[in-house]
């Protein structure tokens, strides 16, 4: 049986639509929003308006790229949350209207659940290795840092998560402190390649269990720079690369310490990465190095499936379709994970 699902994602500042046939992606269209750059972060009101402008052209392009007519779809899947409410409302309302007009089942998906299933997306004409269950997923993005034990495509347990800032936020906030533009994560990664990761030391959180905390690191970074700038106003400019490399090493070590601990505790050696921060070169190298050391099998999705995208939403849609898990027309978006 082949199942064709349209996925729609609008939880933050990317409007995306994708078409999947079973687990194989046929199209994945993403419209980013440049309008937020000058504000140093996503402005919710502007994000909603941009989604409103983008949603129809993006869905239209996703269907055309896939060579699929609306009448050939089996269901419409959408992101119900978590995310910005105004943004979610655009995708949710559009998905409902489309499903209703075509007489198709509607499928709601959780954005974080979808990030986890990104490792299962296949490209046409190739079969790549996918994680076997149970596996651990380190989900690191601008809004979340979680370690998730995944027992089946629709069954997962969060075993650790950040109690304050997410890893991506730590990158972005520290970048802002250094005067770098938003989002700072990719820029820190780039500058870190030229720097000495042992040049500076920043304090790491001491938290029990598998939870994370990044707000202390941000404060430690801020105070460190404030003191150094008093002695030398050009300190940041002179040491930008070393600062980035040292900061990145610290964030990656914090992420890896808990991941290694969780893998040992659960006796799991299948490990995947998900979320925007999994683009980070230091994190990718660290996961692969830990994989060699602890005999893990590691799975890192393609970059376009780690940042926000609708392919992963359609992937959850496929699994829910197989189980007959459909949403009702009165499903309202939620800003936070329950």
Binding residues for substrate are 139-143, 172, 185, 189, 280
Whether the CB-CB separation of 195 and 243 falls below 8 Å is answered with yes
141 binds ligand KG4, rule: CB under 6 A: yes
Task: Answer yes or no whether residue 110 interacts with ligand KG4 by CB under 6 A.
Answer: no
Q: Are 153 and 120 in contact (CB under 8 A)?
A: yes
Question: What does each C-alpha distance from 322 to 41, 227, 246, 326 come to in angstroms?
Answer: 38, 58, 46, 10
Answer for which of 147, 277, 312, 327 binds ligand KG4 (CB under 6 A) is 277
What are phi and psi for residue 148, nearest 5 degrees?
-120, 130
Cβ nearer to ligand KG4, comparing 158 with 268:
158
User: Residue 275 — left, alpha, or beta (φ > 0 → left; ψ -120 to 50 → alpha)?
Assistant: left
* Helix (H) / strand (E) containing 296: none
Residue with tokens 């921060």: 277
Q: Which of 41, 70, 186, 291 binds ligand KG4 (CB under 6 A)?
A: 186
The reply to whether 280 sits near ligand KG4 by the rule CB under 6 A is yes
In the block, tokens 């005999």 appear at 295
Q: List 159's β-bridge partners, or say none.
A: none
54 binds ligand KG4 (CB under 6 A): no
Q: How far is the CB of 302 from ligand KG4 (least distance, A)?
A: 13
Exactly one of 149, 189, 211, 242 binds ligand KG4 (CB under 6 A); that residue is: 189
Residue 102 or 290 with smaller CB distance to ligand KG4: 290
Q: Give the SS3 label for residue 107.
A: strand
| Minimum CB–partner distance for residue 177 and ligand KG4 (Å) | 14
Q: Which is nearer to ligand KG4, 75 or 147 (CB)?
A: 147
Cis peptide before 316 (omega within 30 of 0): no
10 binds ligand KG4 (CB under 6 A): no
Task: Considering only residues 165 through 184, tell me which ones interact with ligand KG4, judged by CB under 6 A.
Answer: 168, 171-172, 183-184
What letter does residue 106 receive in the DSSP assignment?
E
CB atoms within 10 A of CB 222: 13
- Among 86-94, 126-134, 139-147, 234-242, which window interacts with ligand KG4 (CB under 6 A)? 139-147
Using the rule CB under 6 A, is 279 a contact of ligand KG4? yes
Could you tell me if 236 and 178 are in contact, meaning their C-beta atoms sit under 8 angstroms apart? yes
Q: Is 82 in the site for ligand KG4 (CB under 6 A)?
A: no
**Binding residue numbers for Fe cation:** 111, 115, 308
| One residue of 7, 105, 143, 317 binding ligand KG4 per CB under 6 A | 143
Q: Contact at 8 Å (CB) between 273 and 136?
A: no
Which two tokens mark 32? 């980013």
**Which of 172, 190, 193 has its CA nearest to residue 182?**
172
Residue of 165, 252, 307, 313 interacting with ligand KG4 (CB under 6 A): 307
Query: Minimum distance between the CB of residue 285 and ligand KG4, rounded to whole angstroms?
Result: 12
Interaction site with ligand KG4 (CB under 6 A): 12, 141-143, 168, 171-172, 183-186, 189, 275-277, 279-280, 307-308
């Amino acid at each position: 049986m082949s199942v064709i699902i349209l996925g729609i994602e609008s939880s933050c500042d990317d409007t995306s639509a994708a078409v999947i046939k079973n687990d194989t992606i046929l199209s994945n269209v993403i419209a980013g929003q440049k309008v937020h750059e000058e504000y140093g972060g996503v402005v919710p009101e502007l994000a909603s308006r941009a989604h409103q402008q983008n949603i129809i052209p993006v869905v239209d392009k996703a269907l055309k790229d896939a060579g699929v007519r609306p009448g050939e779809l089996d269901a419409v899947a959408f992101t119900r949350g978590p995310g910005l409410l105004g943004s979610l409302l655009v995708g949710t309302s559009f998905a409902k209207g489309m499903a209703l007009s075509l007489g198709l089942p509607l499928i709601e998906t959780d954005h974080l659940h979808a990030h986890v299933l990104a490792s299962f997306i296949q490209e046409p004409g190739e079969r790549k290795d996918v994680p076997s269950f149970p596996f651990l997923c380190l989900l690191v993005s601008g809004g979340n840092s979680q370690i998730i034990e995944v027992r089946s495509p629709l069954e997962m347990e969060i075993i650790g998560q950040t109690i304050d800032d997410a890893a991506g936020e730590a990158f972005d906030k520290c970048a802002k402190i250094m005067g770098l533009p938003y989002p700072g994560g990719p820029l820190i990664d780039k500058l870190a390649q030229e720097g000495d990761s042992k040049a500076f030391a920043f304090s790491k959180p001491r938290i029990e269990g598998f939870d994370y905390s990044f707000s202390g690191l941000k404060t430690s970074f801020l105070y460190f720079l404030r003191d150094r700038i008093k002695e030398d106003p050009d300190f940041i400019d002179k040491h930008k690369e070393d600062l980035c490399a040292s900061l990145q090493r610290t964030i990656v070590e914090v992420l890896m310490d808990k991941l290694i601990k969780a893998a040992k505790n659960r006796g799991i050696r299948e490990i995947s990465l998900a979320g925007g921060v999994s683009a980070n070169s230091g994190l990718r190298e660290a996961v692969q190095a830990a994989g060699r050391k602890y005999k893990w099998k590691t799975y890192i999705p393609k970059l376009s499936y780690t940042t926000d995208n609708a392919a992963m939403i359609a992937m959850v849609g496929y699994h829910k379709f197989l189980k007959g898990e459909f949403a009702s027309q009165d499903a309202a978006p939620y800003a936070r994970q329950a």
